[in-house]
Amino acid sequence: MTDAYVAVEGERVIEARARSPGTTRGELVFTTAYTGYEESLTDPSYEEQVLTFSYPLIGNYGVRADRFESDRVQPNAVVARELTDDVAEWLTDEGVPAVDHLDTREIVTEIRDEGAMKCGIAAGPDVTEQDALDELAQCKHMSDHTDIGKQVSVTEPEVHNPDGDGPRVALVDCGAKGSITDSLVERDAVVHRLPYDATAEDVADVDPDLLFISNGPGDPENFEEAGEVVEAYVGDLPLAGICLGQQVVANALGGETEKMEFGHRGVNQPVRDLRTDRVVMTTQNHGYTVADPGDKLNVTQVNVNDDTPEGLENDDLSIITRQYHPEANPGPNDSLDFFDDVLALAEE
């Protein structure tokens, strides 16, 4: 039964089955992950996007809240070949439109050929193709979401593990996955989670041993406040960044970032360390990348598939950043030692 429609750029409309009702719009992207759908669906980096799963069956091990990376489902809508009832009910409860019974292989191929594209979704018994087309017409490019950090960040400072004996970390939350905080707390760090628009004075109030810029959605150039904080403390504090955090650090230190054709999203992205020639598998979720690191950062790791920078460092300035997600969740866990390296900088 057709009771849902997906309209993509070019005004092509794909028929589908509604699994969670509603109308919405967003950038249509795909992930190659075949596990970890709970983590993906609660990852703030998917804000303002429509997430398509390339793996055909989503939901085959249920839904558990202890796997969530934030307190809500983050994508604007979900597309899959088949969603189980558990996932469909969860998305309905969250008010997130979802559709299935369509050819996701075709969608993924189109995104790979044409790049991530705007789309409109209409799902439910009374919707029409025009409803989806109307949503498409109102869809913005990701770079036009100039204040997207406000949608995913904490609004007030939070302290995690206040009695810890490890370094004090100022974590600028641009849309941080919960596992980043957990990974630092597991190593006994005291984590001060600050809003995305925190100022240099806000960081000074924490008196940190380390400045950490988190992952997040959208264009790194729209996170101007985080970049200003990096500029204020470079050379005075060790700096770390994950995903969007790497891009923000690069921009702040004279580098350049750019939009990728369709990004890296999944749990099977190979990364090669240029110093050891070792290849590890990583979890990733980003649509922008560092095009030019500038003259203050050295590229230490690259993506095996397209040679984009996956690791930037400067030993003299005590900077370590990663484009991928060392905290994983879901795995692989090949790069968890990143957090040990970062906290070692702070302890020094």
Q: How far is CA 112 from CA 14, 79, 105, 124, 262, in A?
A: 17, 16, 11, 29, 6
Catalytic site includes residue 325: yes
What is the three-state SS of 185-222? Answer: HCCCCEEEEECCCCCHHHHHHHCCCEEEECCCCCCHHH
Which phi and psi angles does 266 have, rounded to 5°? 155, -175
Rg (CA), the chain: 20
- Yes or no: say if 284 and 215 are a contact pair by the CB < 8 Å rule: no
Looking at the DSSP bridge assignments, the partners of residue 252 are none
DSSP for 23-72?
Answer: EEEEEEEEE--SS-HHHHHT-GGGTTEEEEESSSEE-TT---GGG-SSSS
Q: What share of the chain is helix, strand, coil (3-state, %, to 5)?
A: 30, 35, 40
Residue found by looking up tokens 């905080």 in the block: 181
From CA 312, how far away is CA 310, in angstroms rounded? 7
The answer to whether residue 139 is catalytic is no
Residue 13 neighbours by CB under 8 Å, 6+ apart? 5, 6, 7, 129, 132, 133
212 φ, ψ (degrees, to nearest 5): -125, 125
Smallest CA-to-CA distance from 46 within 148, 166, 199, 144 is with 148
Determine the Cα–Cα distance for residues 169 and 258; give it in Å rounded to an integer.
Answer: 29
Contact residues for 46 (Cβ-Cβ < 8 A; gap 6+): 29, 40, 74, 75, 217, 285
Phi, psi of 50 (to 5 degrees): -110, 115
Which of 243, 264, 286, 310 is flagged as catalytic?
243
| Spatial distance between the Cα atoms of 148 and 216, rounded to a whole number of angstroms | 9
Instruction: Give catalytic residues, as residue numbers.
Output: 243, 325, 327
